[in-house]
Amino acid sequence: MNLRLYPLSLVLILLLRPTMSSNQHDYSDALSKSILFFEGQRSGYLPNDQRMTWRRNSGLSDGWTHNTDLTGGYYDAGDNVKFNFPMAFTTTMLAWSVIEFGELMPPSELRNSLVALRWGSNYLLKSVSQLPNRIFVQVGDPIADHNCWERPEDMDTPRTAYAVNAPNPASEVAGEITAAFSAASIAFRSSDPGYSQTLLQNAVKTFQFADTYRGAYSSNEDIKNDVCPFYCDFNGFQDELLWGAAWLRKATGDESYLNYIESNREPFGASDNVDEFGWDNKVGGLNILVSKEVIEGNMYNLEAYKASAESFMCSLVPESPGTHVEYTPAGLLYKPGGSQLQHATTISFLLLVYAQYLSRSSLSLSCGTLTVPPDYLRRLAKKQVDYILGDNPMGLSYMVGYGERYPKRIHHRGSSLPSIVDHPGAIGCKDGSVYFNSTEPNPNVLIGAVVGGPGEDDKYDDDRSDFRMSEPTTYINAPFVGVLAYFAANPSFS
């Protein structure tokens, strides 16, 4: 980079930025493992080419209470419940990873990514199979499940299928499923056009349900006690409606969805600047996604989305004017609450995507009087990645199975209990407590799992009982697939 092209203030930023560790990470290995992780989260009948061999079939009766097939999909974290809301977000982010960075992946890992994506989208297709009048939002009684510590293969807790029937609303779940189908339809467009079309048709149908019966699924009295406080969307459902419409616009090019996201931005409360992005708040990602239409398509009627996207990106640059996100002393993105690494992976993904949009149009980010080139955004993302992979005060990789030191006692039922291979007999609901309370490392290595991560002081306890730190989730890993694909293809970037 020729520093003379940029203002002196930016030159100082670039020269005085924290020195990156000299550790050389194998991003290709991390990429492979981040995708492999999803095989450990599978529910349903496992295929013959299952590589996480300590797992076996599970949840084979899912859906029987409604005389429908709801087998398959993913357990979202260390429990044995299928929460469709975060699973749909996981699916969206796997698809977006393929859309933006799939061409950078080795063919084998692109294939594995699409397999992981299809496992999620196939299940979600089952969850909307009874539209236009019914959508399934969850399988498994979370209260009963969380009172047990047992393998998914041994589950004897109620596998209740939670349905929302029209005119009752489920806008946040249906909106996210819309986004998942739309994004996946783009990801599969070249390799499986028939499946792509099926996904897109279901996206349209699912969005109609989401938009026609507006409201939160947690407002349904008969299910709210079993979906809250686990995966209630406390930020409202309107962001998922815009998010779903934006992905439908991207997948179809239909002007009606363009009009929808343009006219509903302020009425839906999406005009405020938001500095987060995750399963329960889509506004940060929505602004980045829609800004592409402004940057590359000259859709200036959507300029407000781009302005919010730039405000978000600028809040990540410590030296920029205005308000900023928080970082730990060692430089990890920090948000109050648990599972810190979900923020690091999703926001790193957005940094790389926005940098890509800017680079294609030979643009830079404007933060007041500060001009920030795309590579600086990539450096911010790389610092998060390297922190996760071991460049942190603990000297610990937060990806299980990567590096010499990583968490050994993760909060995960299947990983912490003996496998069916080693212990063919069933392990009952409370019989697993001895394994939960054990200080021994988990017997089954959930390769590629990224745990919740350290606290605001950069400290981490390898403690199975501390789920905020030691529990992995699918929605931490899904955006990390795209991030790692970029750095695996650009290993010398610094």
The label of the residue with tokens 């993760």 reads: 410
φ, ψ for residue 369, nearest 5 deg: -85, 0
Locus of tokens 């859309």: 99
- Cα–Cα dist 103/482, whole Å: 11
CA triple 105-109-112, angle to 5 deg: 140
What span, in angstroms and rounded, lies between the C-alpha atoms of 19 and 407? 26
Tokens of 159: 């596998």
Token pair 């405000």 in the structure block, residue: 311
3-class DSSP state for residue 186? helix
Cα(143)–Cα(156) distance, rounded to whole angstroms?
A: 13
Provide the residue type at 233 as one letter. D
The alpha helices in 221-337, defined as continuous H runs, are 224-227, 238-252, 255-263, 283-297, 303-315
Query: Catalytic: 462?
Result: yes
Number of H helices, E strands in the chain: 18, 7
DSSP letters for 3-54: GGGS-HHHHHHHHHSPPPPS----HHHHHHHHHHGGGGGB-BSPPTT-S-TT
SS3 at position 327 = strand
Structure token pair of residue 196: 């792509």
Please give the angle made by the CA atoms of 409, 414 and 420, to the nearest 5 degrees.
125
R_g of the chain computed on alpha carbons? 22
- Paired tokens of 420: 């069916």
Q: How far apart are CA 98 and CA 289, in angstroms?
A: 14
Answer whether 377's CB lies under 8 Å from 365's CB.
yes
Marked catalytic residue, from 154, 411, 412, 458: 411
Which residue of the set 62, 145, 275, 462 is catalytic?
462
Cβ burial 189-213 (10 Å sphere, 16+ → b, else e): beeeeebbebbbebbbbbbebbbeb
Q: Which two tokens stand for residue 325?
A: 């996100």
Label residue 266 exposed, middle or buried (CB < 10 Å: 0-12, 13-18, 19+). exposed
Evaluate the CA torsion angle 165, 166, 172, 174 in order and state its sign: positive
> What is the biggest distance separating any 2 CA atoms in the chain, rounded to whole angstroms?
69
Residue located via tokens 């008969």: 222
- The answer to whether residue 471 is catalytic is yes
Give the C-alpha separation, 451 to 365, whole Å.
32
- Which amino acids are annotated catalytic? 411, 462, 471
